[in-house]
C-alpha cells in the first residue's frame, strides 16, 4: 500500500471506530469518511458517488454483475409471452477466473449459457466484430476486461459499448432483452485513463490492491436500480442502499478512497514513469540475453498495452518460467496471473489463446514495474535472471 493509504487506514481505525449507521459522533465520523471515499472513487472514474457500491473485492463485484444480469434477463421475460429460455452471456477467453468460473458453474447447473470469444492472435484482443457475432436473442450481458492481466493488452471496450448500445435499440423494437455491458478494470486503474463516460459501460469493477490501495473493491453501476439493474446477492442490514448489506469496513474504505485520490492527482506521472522503466526493462533484457533469445509475448502490432507489464520468454530447453524463478535470488515475479501460481509448468491458457507456441509459453515470465521501480532495480532483476539461466544451463550440461 502507498504510505498515504496506510496512514488513512490507521487514522480511520483510531478515529472512526463507530458504526457508520449510528447517530453518535464516532458513527457520524465513519459515515463521513465513507462518503468522502465514495466521492473520490467517483472522481477517479468520471462518475457520480451514487454510482459506487463498496464490495469485498473484484471477485464479489464480478459475481454481482453476473448474478444481476441473470435476474435482469428473467425480469425482462416476465409477462411478455416471448420466452427466450435461459440467459446467455458473452465474454472473452482471457478473462479473470472470477468471470470464467461463475459462468462455467451456471452452465453446469443449467442456469445460463456462456460464449467465450477467443482473442485474435494478431492483436491479442477480443475483436469487437467477434464479440458481436456471438450475441444471441437471449444474450443479456457482455463482459470484457479493460486490460489483460498477463499480456497487458488493452481491450476495445469503448467501441464495444457503442456497438452494443446501437444493437440494443434494434433489440428493443423486437422485444428482446437489453444487453448490459461490463468491464473488469482491475488492471487498468492507476496505470492509464479510466473514464466511464468514454467507456460507455453499465458496470465497471474496481480492485483496490491493483492501485496501491487495500484489498477491497468496489463496483461502478450507471445509476444503480434505475437506469441499470443491480440485484443484491446478500440480504441484511440495508447498508450500501441494500445492494451490498453488511456493516461497512470503514478503515479499508477510507484507504481505498485515499488510493483513488492519489490516482486522481498523479495518474499521468505514474503512467509515464512506469512506461519509461518498462521500456528500459525490455531493452535491458534484449541487451543481456540477445534479441534472438528473448520473445516478448505482449507485443501485438496495432494494440495498446498497459504501461507496467512485460511478458516475455527466455528461449531455450529447460528454461521454463517456474524453474528460472526458482533459481533467482532477489527477483519477485510470476509466470502468469499470481492467483494461478499453482498450475506447475503448464503453459498459460491466456498466452496459448493469443497464439504463443506452447514451448514458448511454458518459458514465460511476467514482470510488472511499479510507481517506485527504478532503472537500478531493473538492472538488479535482469542480472538475477542472467545468473539463474547460467546456473540452469550449467546444471543441464552433459
Query: What does the pLDDT average to over 177-183?
Result: 97
Question: What's the confidence (pLDDT) of residue 139?
Answer: 97
> pLDDT-derived band of residue 367, with 50, 70 and 90 as boundaries?
very high
14: helix, strand or coil: helix
The proportion of the chain whose per-residue pLDDT surpasses 90, expressed as a percent, equals 92
> pLDDT-derived band of residue 339, with 50, 70 and 90 as boundaries?
low
pLDDT in tens, 110-141: 999 999 999 999 999 999 999 999 999 999 99
> pLDDT-derived band of residue 80, with 50, 70 and 90 as boundaries?
low
Question: What's the confidence (pLDDT) of residue 396?
Answer: 86
> pLDDT-derived band of residue 77, with 50, 70 and 90 as boundaries?
confident
pLDDT in tens, 231-277: 999 999 999 999 999 999 999 999 999 999 999 999 999 999 999 99
183 - beta bridge partners? 204
Task: Check whether 84 has a pLDDT greater than 80.
Answer: no
Question: What's the confidence (pLDDT) of residue 78?
Answer: 83
Name the catalytic one among 14, 328, 339, 354. 339
Question: What's the confidence (pLDDT) of residue 287?
Answer: 98
3-state helix, strand, coil in the chain (%, to 5): 45, 15, 40
Sheet containing 217-221: which strands, arranged edge to edge?
52-55, 217-221, 203-207, 180-184, 139-143, 88-92, 113-117
Question: What's the confidence (pLDDT) of residue 253?
Answer: 98
> pLDDT-derived band of residue 397, with 50, 70 and 90 as boundaries?
confident
Burial of 173 (0-12, 13-18, 19+ CB in 10 A): exposed
pTM of the model: 0.95
Q: Is residue 307 flagged as an active site residue?
A: no
Question: What's the confidence (pLDDT) of residue 360?
Answer: 97
| Cβ(187)–Cβ(306) below 8 Å | yes
How many other C-beta atoms lie within 10 A of the C-beta of residue 168?
16
| 52-55 vs 217-221, strand pairing mode | antiparallel
Question: What's the confidence (pLDDT) of residue 342?
Answer: 54
pLDDT in tens, 297-306: 999 999 999 9
With residue 217 as reference, give the H or E element that holds it: strand 217-221
Task: Check whether 102 has a pLDDT greater than 90.
Answer: yes
Distance CA 154, CA 146 (A): 6
pLDDT in tens, 341-365: 555 678 999 999 999 999 999 999 9
Amino acid at each position: 500500500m502507498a504510505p498515504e493509504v496506510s496512514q488513512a487506514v490507521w487514522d480511520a481505525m483510531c478515529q472512526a471506530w463507530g458504526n457508520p449507521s449510528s447517530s453518535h459522533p464516532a458513527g457520524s465520523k465513519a459515515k463521513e469518511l465513507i462518503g468522502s471515499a465514495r466521492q473520490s472513487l467517483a472522481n477517479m472514474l468520471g462518475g457520480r458517488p451514487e454510482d459506487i457500491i463498496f464490495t469485498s473485492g473484484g471477485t464479489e463485484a464480478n459475481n454481482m454483475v453476473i448474478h444481476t444480469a441473470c435476474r435482469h434477463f428473467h425480469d425482462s421475460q416476465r409477462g411478455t409471452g416471448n420466452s427466450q429460455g435461459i440467459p446467455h452471456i458473452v465474454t472473452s477467453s482471457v478473462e479473470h477466473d472470477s468471470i470464467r468460473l461463475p459462468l462455467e458453474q451456471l452452465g453446469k447447473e443449467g442456469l445460463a449459457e456462456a460464449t467465450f470469444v477467443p482473442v485474435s492472435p494478431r492483436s491479442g484482443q477480443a475483436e469487437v466484430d467477434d464479440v458481436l457475432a456471438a450475441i444471441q436473442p437471449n444474450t443479456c450481458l457482455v463482459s470484457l476486461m479493460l486490460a489483460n492481466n498477463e499480456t497487458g493488452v488493452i481491450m476495445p471496450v469503448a467501441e464495444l459499448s457503442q456497438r452494443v448500445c446501437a444493437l440494443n435499440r434494434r433489440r428493443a423494437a423486437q422485444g428482446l432483452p437489453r444487453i448490459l455491458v461490463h468491464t473488469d478494470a482491475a488492471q487498468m486503474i492507476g496505470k492509464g485513463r479510466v473514464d466511464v463516460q468514454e467507456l460507455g459501460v453499465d458496470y465497471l469493477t474496481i480492485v483496490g490492491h491493483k492501485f496501491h490501495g487495500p484489498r477491497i473493491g468496489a463496483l461502478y453501476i450507471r445509476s444503480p436500480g434505475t437506469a441499470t439493474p443491480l440485484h443484491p446477492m446478500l440480504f441484511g442490514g440495508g447498508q450500501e442502499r441494500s445492494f451490498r448489506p453488511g456493516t461497512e469496513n470503514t478503515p479499508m474504505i477510507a484507504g481505498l478512497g485515499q488510493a483513488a485520490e492519489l490516482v486522481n492527482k498523479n495518474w499521468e506521472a505514474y503512467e509515464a514513469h512506469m512506461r519509461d522503466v518498462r521500456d528500459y526493462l525490455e531493452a535491458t533484457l534484449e541487451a543481456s540475453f540477445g534479441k534472438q533469445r528473448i520473445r516478448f509475448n505482449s507485443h501485438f502490432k496495432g494494440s495498446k498495452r498497459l504501461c507496467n507489464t512485460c511478458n516475455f520468454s527466455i528461449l531455450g530447453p529447460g528454461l521454463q518460467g517456474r524453474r528460472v524463478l526458482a533459481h533467482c535470488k532477489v527477483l519477485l515475479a510470476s509466470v502468469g496471473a499470481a492467483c494461478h501460481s499453482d498450475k506447475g509448468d503448464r503453459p498459460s491458457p491466456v498466452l496459448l489463446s493469443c497464439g504463443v507456441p506452447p514451448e514458448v509459453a511454458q518459458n514465460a515470465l511476467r514482470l510488472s514495474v511499479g510507481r517506485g521501480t527504478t532503472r537500478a532495480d531493473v538492472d538488479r532483476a535482469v542480472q538475477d535472471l542472467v545468473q539463474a539461466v547460467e546456473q540452469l544451463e550449467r546444471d543441464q550440461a552433459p
